[in-house]
Structure 1
Amino acid sequence: MNTSLRLLLEDFLGLMREEGELDVFLTLLLSGMGHEIISRAKKGVKQYGVDVSSVGTDKADGRTKLFLWVVKRGDIGRAEWNGSQQSIQYSLDEVVWTYLPSHISPQHAKLPKKVMVLTNGDFHPTLNLAIATTFKTLSRRHGVKFELVNGSILAGWAEEHLLDEHLLPKEARTLLRRMLANISSSETSLQPGRELVAQLTNLATTQDGSENARKKHRLGALRGIRTALSLARSYGLSENNLSVAYKLAEFAVLRTWAALHVEGKQIVYIRDELAALRIQWAAIALEYHERVQPYYQTQDAFASILPDSLLVANRAFEELGRLALQTIFWGNLGAQTGLPVGENLARHSSSQLQVLLETHSCTSSPPYDRHSAVIHATLLALMICNERETAERWLETLIVRLFHATHNKRYWPVDCTFEEALEIREGEKDLTEESSSTSTIIPVFLIWSAALGREDFYSTVRENILPTIPKWTTSNLWSSDSGYDSVVGDAKLLFEHGVAEGLLHVPKTASEFLARLSVPLQGVEPVEQSEWYQQRIPLIPILASLHWGSQVPRMMLIEHAMALCGKSPANYDAAAN
């Protein structure tokens, strides 16, 4: 058993809150141990002492039993044992006098019962006599067994069943330690974290062994990824740096989707694990944005922590893209499920986004051409929340700023390294063909101007900006092709994929422009045949574009904009013909 990893796990588990963290992790662990989860803790529901119940094999005697889990956080002293109605003693009384007689389903009634008292801390030695007496008395009266589980035992179970030697070999364990040891430094920690997720994803795709063996490998690897993300989150909280957990969760969603999207369509447990990973990403994101919110609310706050305006603008656009994606994710979830929480969280993220637009004027001047994906996602998010006026106002400002950049090309959105961009911005170097050969921002401006019905915006881009852009710059669109879902988890494969298309002729009217773009590019696979489209997960292509700095697929751009602006693609298809 690896002592250093065990200590990491024990520290990580010790940071968990009782409600919503420790109990949730326990259900994940029990699933890894082969238990069937019967009930989980639910807020607002009377539990009669039992936080989680499960059916599984008791290693002590090899028998199948009904396990009733009483979960408490932290070290257990006399006050926690029997000092109030929230104490363990009170919970145990509820278990034996109320839960056991009336809350056991018929199919589990004949199973032996075992009550597990679990904490992520330790039980104080002075309680030994009281615990032994309580367990002996209750066991004799009610015919059930009792057992204590402390943080060390819990960490051992996690290591054995979520991160065992077979699922997490020596090299992967080294990567996990490197990731956690450098959690305060984003890039230094992120690289081993990505390598770890990639290794576990490869293990999840193994075709060796029987179906049961493959299922065990897949579940173990996917739950290992979720455990690694939980570790990154907890250690990130202690170091006040959640960006590693956030970016790693983005990567994990993309990497696992690329590897398992076909199996996820066919196999329920894989689909459920991929969905759980997306929810974990969204939960980390919500926590991250709540911590960063003071910077959104304070005028030009990012300028106080970053040394250069180029870095400030880039950070502001990164935050815009993330908030927009959260809005899109929760809005889509709410629309699909009808649950109010989806719409509420979408509006919350949208409000944070709008505050950032107001407090940081740099959000109207993208420093890099890759921010075209951010602009599209942000406009999409605003329209999802019926903020059309804000969307139009921001788009107008973006267009005006880009027009000024055609005359002062130091501020033209570039595609190059930070060092070269800084030299151009400070006038130490002229704008080069290599740094501005294509513009993916101009097509986004044209599409959204046309979809919003703003002929004035469209004309400004067509007549005032296009004639004055750098002479070597070509407006560029990009279409995904067959196999797109399989490359979203790898930057190199994604940039080699698909078909680029120069926008060489821009029609005079916005309606004609939409009509032409509504016709898919010949010879490429329609987006409707992509797995993300068929499985109704639009998060995937937008997340890939934002995470890797790539383009949003052409037909997704046009269909998103037209749908949210009340345009009918069918009408424009007819016009094009």
Structure 2
Amino acid sequence: MKLILKEYLASLNERDELDAILPDLLSQMGLVVFSTPRRGIKEYGVDIAAVGSIGGEQEKVYLLSVKAGNLTRETWNGSSNQVLRPSLDEILDSYIPARVPPEHKDKPIEICLCFGGEVHSGIRQEVTGYTSRNSTSNIQFSEWNGDKIAEFILQYFFNEELAPEKYRRLLRKSIAMLDEPDVSIQYYKSLVNELCSQELDDKKSVIAVLRQLNIYTWMLFAWSRDVGNLESAYICSEYVLLKAWDISKSFLQMRGKNTEVINHLIYKLINLQLTVADFYFEKIVVPSANTYLGLSSMVAPSCAVDVNLKLFDLLGRLSLRGIWTYNQYCLLINQNEAEENLRAFETQYHKTCNLIMSMIDNNSILLTPYKDDQATDIMLAIFCLSRCREYHTFIESWLKKLSKLN
């Protein structure tokens, strides 16, 4: 399991991936996280900040600067913006003097060099020299490489109490069978059902399960992306979101300090599902949607109706992604979000709508539904397109063609 975790960590990007799982890991370790990554806000080198004790040591302030993959000469002190040494300089020069909360200023500080891979031997001396020169009686440095983070994940998410061998075996089988999506999905759903069927009678137990679901699904997605088959990750991330909502909904109506934590974890699972969906569509739909019969020709049919069933299913999935985007856009308008963020969601919505229309125009099989439940896929597409008046003409034209051929 540790080797699987190390491979998984090494494959993660920095933004929205490695820095998305670390706050949950720190919280599970008993630390209090008081700063997490936020877009559009200068972080002064610190991606995640937490306070607490690890392994019974003295209580400290942990400042994590997160980078993806291996630490190479380029990512240590190269020419790009995403390099580690300048971030460490900012922590020493700006963050520690001015941004550590007053109640924690008297605590020792540990600056954690956090990356999913390893330190390349060619820069080992430079890294060690830097940390030695800048260490003081109150400021220390530590390396959280892929091996150490994997060890923490094993200790706090895969211990016998939280994840008995049965759970770990199901996860390993699901990852091993990614090239056979139906089998992989079956194993992963069994794991999710086992986790969610426990006696979850308080908020803390629900929080523990939600954190497990988040990190396990990230693992499945990362491996799916590497092997180039995202079907299992897509279906499983949807299933996880539904099960997570089912075990959480009764607690979200209660007041208390952990209600917001549950709400935040549900939001993270929503974002994870949308991230999986975006990778799925970029790989499958975007390259072929504008080509005549491009998507139809990608299906390897085992019978005469396979192309029809697959394309209507794909239409429903893509339409659902567009509805999520529109919903996020509406929420941001109500929260007076920055114009730049609103434009990003608006652009994403119109991109999805154009993909839907291209799919229909270039694949005539989408004019001939074979099953009654394909009405759901059609209605999802209509609902997505109908949010914008400029697409109403296309909806009318498509419905006329559907009614003529059926």
TM-score (norm 1): 0.64
1:159 pairs with 2:154: yes
**Counterpart of 1:105 in structure 2: which amino acid?**
P
Secondary structure at the aligned position of 2:22 is classed as: helix
Partner of 2:45: 49
Return the offset for 1:126. Answer: 5.6
For residues 350-365 of structure 1, the aligned pairs below 5 Å read 350-365=353-368
Return the offset for 1:130. Answer: 4.0
1:187 pairs with 2:169: no
Partner of 1:252: 240
CA distance in 2: counterparts of 1:268 and 1:46, whole angstroms:
25
User: 2:230–2:280: 8 Å Cα contact kept in structure 1?
Assistant: yes
CA distance in 2: counterparts of 1:392 and 1:192, whole angstroms:
43
Return the offset for 1:397. Answer: 1.3
Alignment partner for residue 102 of structure 2, among 82, 103, 106? 106
Secondary structure at the aligned position of 2:50 is classed as: strand
CA distance in 2: counterparts of 1:43 and 1:276, whole angstroms:
15
Root-mean-square deviation over aligned CA pairs: 2.2
Deviations 1:307-350 (A, max 9, x none): 35511111110111111111222212222331524444332222
Partner of 1:284: 276
Return the offset for 1:58. Answer: 3.3
Return the offset for 1:162. Answer: 2.7
Return the offset for 1:99. Answer: 1.9
**Counterpart of 1:355 in structure 2: which amino acid?**
S
Partner of 2:312: 317
Is 355-364 or 268-277 further displaced after alignment? 268-277
Return the offset for 1:77. Answer: 4.0
Partner of 1:175: 170
CA distance in 2: counterparts of 1:302 and 1:227, whole angstroms:
32
Alignment partner for residue 399 of structure 1, among 381, 398, 403? 403
CA distance in 1: counterparts of 2:210 and 2:222, whole angstroms:
19
Return the offset for 1:271. Answer: 2.6
Alignment partner for residue 243 of structure 1, among 231, 241, 245? 231
Tell me: CA distance 1:147–1:262, structure 2 relative to 1, closer, same or farther (3 Å).
Answer: same
**Counterpart of 1:185 in structure 2: which amino acid?**
E
Return the offset for 1:373. Answer: 1.1
Return the offset for 1:295. Answer: 2.5
Between Structure 1 and Structure 2, how many residues are aligned?
389
Partner of 1:388: 392
CA distance in 1: counterparts of 2:140 and 2:265, whole angstroms:
33
For residues 119-138 of structure 1, the aligned pairs below 5 Å read 119-125=115-121, 127-138=123-134
Deviations 1:157-213 (A, max 9, x none): 11222333222211111110110001111111110011111112223x522xxxxxx
User: 1:264–1:274: 8 Å Cα contact kept in structure 2?
Assistant: no
CA distance in 1: counterparts of 2:126 and 2:380, whole angstroms:
59
Q: State, as a whole percentage, how many aligned pairs show the same letter.
A: 26
Return the offset for 1:297. Answer: 1.9
Partner of 2:209: 221
User: 1:332–1:342: 8 Å Cα contact kept in structure 2?
Assistant: no
Return the offset for 1:27. Answer: 1.9
Alignment partner for residue 147 of structure 1, among 130, 142, 147? 142
**Counterpart of 1:259 in structure 2: which amino acid?**
I
Return the offset for 1:21. Answer: 1.5
Partner of 2:324: 329
- Tell me: higher relative CO, structure 1 or 2? Use CA pairs within 8 A at least 6 residues apart: 2
Is 290-299 or 178-187 further displaced after alignment? 290-299
Return the offset for 1:12. Answer: 0.6
**Counterpart of 1:72 in structure 2: which amino acid?**
K
Deviations 1:75-107 (A, max 9, x none): 224554445575433332222122212222322
CA distance in 2: counterparts of 1:92 and 1:55, whole angstroms:
18
User: 1:350–1:385: 8 Å Cα contact kept in structure 2?
Assistant: no
1:377 pairs with 2:380: yes
CA distance in 2: counterparts of 1:20 and 1:276, whole angstroms:
10
TM-score (norm 2): 0.89
